[in-house]
Structure 1
Amino acid sequence: MIHMEQVSYSYQKNKAPIMNNVTLHESEPVIGAIWGRNGAGKTTLMSLLAGHNRPDSGTIQIMDQNPYNNLSAQGHLCYIQENHPLGKNWNMNDLVTIGSHFHSQWNHQLAKRLIDVFELPSKQKISKFSKGMKTAAQIILGLCSNASVTIMDEPTNGLDAEKRKLFYEALLETYEDNPRLILISTHHIEEIQPLCETLIVVHQGKVLYHHPMEEIRERGVLLTGLIQDIGIASQGADIIDSARMGTTSKVMIDDVYSKEWIAKAQHHGLSIEKAALQDYLVNVTRKEEARV
C-alpha cells in the first residue's frame, strides 16, 4: 500500500528538513488517523505520500510505484487537502462528472446519496458554498473516489456535530463495501478514534508513533490525591504531566490503564481515571520535546 523509507524533505535548499529520515509502512487496508500538533509536519507527510512533492532523500512507493510525477501511481490515489482546489465555476454535477473521469472506481450511487444527505444544491457554484458545505463536497470527492489509497486532511473542518456524524457513518459504510487504505488527519481524535485501526503521531518532522489504535487508546493513567501518596504510588513511573493545588496533586502517567493501577490507586487512597486520548497525546509529545 504505502512505503516510505528514510524520507527527508525541505521546502528550501540548505534549510533544516521539515520531514527528517521518516520511515512509514502500511501494507493492509485500514482506516488510520494522523495526529500531530500544529507545525508537526502532518500536511508535508501527506503531500509527499500523494506525490505533490519529491523527497530530497529516501524513497516513497504507493502501490509499488513512485507517486511523484507518475500518472499510473496517481490512478491509485486520492488526496483531499484541507482547502481542496476545485474549479471556481464547478457545481456538484461538475464535481461528480470530473471525479468519475479521474477515478476509475468512482461510486456514482454513493455520490448521489451523499449530496442528498449533506443537503448540497447540485447546480449552485461550490465557490459560493458555506465552509461546511465546501467541506461536505470535498468529503464526497474523497469517499466516492474509491481510490486504493485515500488521504484526507482535516475532512471535518467546518462541519457541525450532526454533519460530522454523517461523515463518520459514510466513512465506515464505504470502507466496509470496499476496504482500502484511508488516512485521515484530524484534530477531532476523540471522535474518530473508534473508527480507526491505526494511529500515526507526527512530531517535529518525524513519525513518533505508528501503532494500532487499541494500544494507544489504553495509555494514560490519571492519579489524583495527596502529594505524598501520589509520590509513593507513582515512584518509578513515567510522569508526563503534573499539577498541584495545596496539598493535592494530579499526575498523568505514560502507562496502560490497568487493574494493577486501579488496585494501587485504591491501596493509596487515590482517585484514578483513564486520560482522554487527546490529552495523552499532547502531553506525550511535550515530554518528547523535553527529552531532546
Structure 2
Amino acid sequence: MIEINNLTYAYNNTPVLTDFNFIESEPRIIALWGRNGAGKTTLMSLLAGHYRPDQGSIKILGQEPYNNLNALENICYIQENHPFGHNWRIGDLLRYGKYFHPNWDQEFAEHLVEIFELPPRKKIEKFSKGMKTAAQIILGLASNAKITILDEPTNGLDAVRRKQFYDALLESYEENPRIILLSTHHIEEIQPLCETMVVVNDGKSLFYEQMEVMREKGIILSGDMDVIKEVTKNVSILDSSKISSTQKVMIDELFTAEWKKIAETNQLTIEKATLQDYLINKTLNKNKGVKK
C-alpha cells in the first residue's frame, strides 16, 4: 500500500530525507516518531503528494501521489494545525468532507461530533486548541481513506478526550482496516494502539519494527561502577550517570531473561527503560558510537 524506495528530498538545498526506504503492504496502525527536524513532517507531506521527491520514488497503492488526483482520493493527511475554511463551522466540515473523500462515513462523523461535544454554531477558527484537534480527528477518521495520516492527533486534548480519541481510532480501524499513520512526540500513550513503529532520524529510517520488539529495547542497570564497566564492556551505552561509586547506565539491548540473570548474578539493579527515553537517547547517540 505504501512503497518508498531510496527517497531523497532537500529544502532550499538542505537535505531533509536521504535514501529513505519504507514498505508496508498490510493495514496497520503505525506510530511515526522523530525528534524535531528529523524529517517526519516532510515525509508525511511527500506521502500526501504535497511535494515531488528529488530522487527515488513513492507509491501509494501503486501510484505516485504527487499531482495525481486518483492517488490522492486514497489519502487523508491531517496536519497538526490543519487548515479549515475561514468561516467553516462543524456543519461545513461534515458537508465538505464527503466531497474530498469517496469513502466518507457521515454517520460516524456525526457520532464523533456528539462524542467530542463540539458547538455547531461556532466557527472552527474560534475553537480552543482541544476542540480544533477534535475537529481534525473527525475529518481524519471519518474519511476512511486507505492511507490516513494524523500528525500529533492528541495535541490539546485532556485525558478524557484522549481516551475518546483512542476508542474512536480503534473503532474506525476495526470497521475499516487500513494504514493509519500516527505521528507523535509522545509515544508512551500512543504505543499500545500501534502494531508497528517507524523512527525517523537524520533523514533516514532508523527503525521499522513491530511494536512488541520496540517495547523491549533499552535496559537500565545500576550498581557498583567497576561491575557495570565489566558487564557492559561489549555493548553500546546510551546514557550514563554516577553518584560516588555507583553508576547508572542505559544500554542498547533488549530486556531479556538473559540480562535479568546477568544483573542478578552481579548484584545489579535492572529495569526496563521507557520507550520514550530509549528513543531520545538512541537518536542522541546514534552517531557517537559509544562503547564501553
Q: Same fold (TM over 0.5)?
A: yes
Match of 2:76 in 1: 78
CA distance in 1, matches of 2:288, 2:258: 28
SS at match of 2:62: coil
Residue 72 of structure 1 deviates from its aligned partner by: 0.4
Matches within 5 A, 1:87-126: 87-126=85-124
Residue 236 of structure 1 deviates from its aligned partner by: 1.2
CA distance in 2, matches of 1:268, 1:207: 36
Unaligned runs of 5+ in 1: none
Residue 102 of structure 1 deviates from its aligned partner by: 1.0
CA distance in 1, matches of 2:24, 2:42: 18
SS at match of 1:127: helix
Q: CA RMSD in A?
A: 1.1
Match of 2:151 in 1: 153
CA distance in 2, matches of 1:182, 1:289: 30
* 1:11 lines up with 2:11 in the alignment: yes
* 1:233 lines up with 2:231 in the alignment: yes
Unaligned runs of 5+ in 2: none
Matches within 5 A, 1:206-221: 206-221=204-219
SS at match of 2:288: helix
* 1:251 lines up with 2:246 in the alignment: no
Match of 1:182 in 2: 180
Match of 1:169 in 2: 167
Match of 1:261 in 2: 259
SS at match of 1:67: coil
Say which of 274, 277, 290 aligns to 2:275. Answer: 277
Q: Is the 8 A contact 2:236 2:289 kept in 1?
A: no
CA distance in 1, matches of 2:198, 2:139: 23
The amino acid of 1:2's aligned partner reads: I
SS at match of 1:17: strand
SS at match of 1:18: strand
Say which of 222, 247, 269 aligns to 1:224. Answer: 222
* CA-to-aligned-CA distance 1:117-176 (integer Å, 9 cap, x gap): 111012211011001100000000000000000011111111112111111111111001
Structure 1's consecutive aligned runs of 4 or more residues displaced over 6 angstroms after TM superposition are none
Residue 234 of structure 1 deviates from its aligned partner by: 1.9
The amino acid of 2:8's aligned partner reads: S
Residue 289 of structure 1 deviates from its aligned partner by: 2.8
CA distance in 2, matches of 1:57, 1:98: 35
Residue 249 of structure 1 deviates from its aligned partner by: 0.4
SS at match of 2:207: strand
CA distance in 2, matches of 1:17, 1:254: 28
CA distance in 2, matches of 1:278, 1:36: 11
Q: Is the 8 A contact 2:49 2:65 kept in 1?
A: yes
Query: What is the TM-score of this pair, normalised by structure 1?
Result: 0.97
Task: Give identity over the alignment, percent.
Answer: 57
Larger mean CA deviation between 143-152 and 157-166 belongs to 157-166
Q: Is the 8 A contact 2:238 2:249 kept in 1?
A: yes
* CA-to-aligned-CA distance 1:56-98 (integer Å, 9 cap, x gap): 1111111111100111001000000000011010111100110
Number of residue pairs the alignment of both structures matches: 290
Residue 240 of structure 1 deviates from its aligned partner by: 1.3
Match of 2:63 in 1: 65
* CA-to-aligned-CA distance 1:233-271 (integer Å, 9 cap, x gap): 223122111111111100111111011111111111111
CA distance in 2, matches of 1:150, 1:46: 10
CA distance in 2, matches of 1:210, 1:279: 18
SS at match of 2:88: coil
CA distance in 2, matches of 1:159, 1:91: 19
Residue 205 of structure 1 deviates from its aligned partner by: 0.9
